[in-house]
């Protein structure tokens, strides 16, 4: 398996623009997580899904952020409108209940810069 795949790897956008980050989890994994990493706040869990259903979105900073998982192999994190304080590295991760959830595999991350 190719692992968790995120796209794009880097994104530079202007304030006010819509940004969509994409994630393909490992095939067969039933949990998907979106994290944000900044120097100030460290690694924060934004939202996670189980079997494509959002379970906990309490980490989503505000209404400008939304996440979807239309099927087991694809998820998106959207920011609309984007602001400079959204600049961060966004990670997607997936794990499997069948293995006891003993590992969560991370994607390479998307480095977002909002200017």
Partner 1 sequence: AQKITQTQPGMFVQEKEAVTLDCTYDTSDPSYGLFWYKQPSSGEMIFLIYQGSYDQQNATEGRYSLNFQKARKSANLVISASQLGDSAMYFCAMRERVGGKSTFGDGTTLTVKP
Interaction between residue 50 and partner 1 (CB under 8 A): yes
Nearest distance from C-beta of residue 81 to partner 1, angstroms = 26
Residues 75, 95, 112, 114: which binds partner 1 (CB under 8 A)?
Answer: 95
User: Mask: binding to partner 1, 24-43, rule CB under 8 A, as x and -?
Assistant: ------xx-x--------xx
DSSP the chain: ----EEE-SEEEE-TT--EEEEEEPPTT--EEEEEEEETTTEEEEEEEEETTEEEE-TT--STTEEEEEEETTEEEEEESS--GGG-EEEEEEEE-GGGTT---EE---EEEEE-
Using CB under 8 A as the criterion, which residues of the chain lie in contact with partner 1 when the complex forms? 30-31, 33, 42-45, 48, 50, 56, 89, 91, 93, 95-97, 100-106, 108-109, 111
């Amino acid at each position: 398996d190719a692992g968790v795949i995120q796209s794009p790897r880097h994104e530079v956008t202007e304030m006010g623009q819509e940004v969509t980050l994409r994630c393909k989890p490992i095939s067969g994994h039933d949990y998907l997580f979106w994290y944000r990493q900044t120097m100030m706040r460290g690694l924060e869990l934004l939202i996670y899904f189980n079997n494509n259903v959002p379970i906990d979105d309490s980490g989503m900073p505000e209404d400008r952020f939304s996440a979807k998982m239309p099927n087991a192999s694809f998820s998106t994190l959207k920011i609309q409108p984007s602001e400079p304080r959204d600049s961060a590295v966004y990670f997607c991760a997936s794990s499997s209940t069948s293995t006891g959830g003993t590992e969560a595999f991370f994607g390479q991350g998307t480095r977002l810069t909002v200017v």
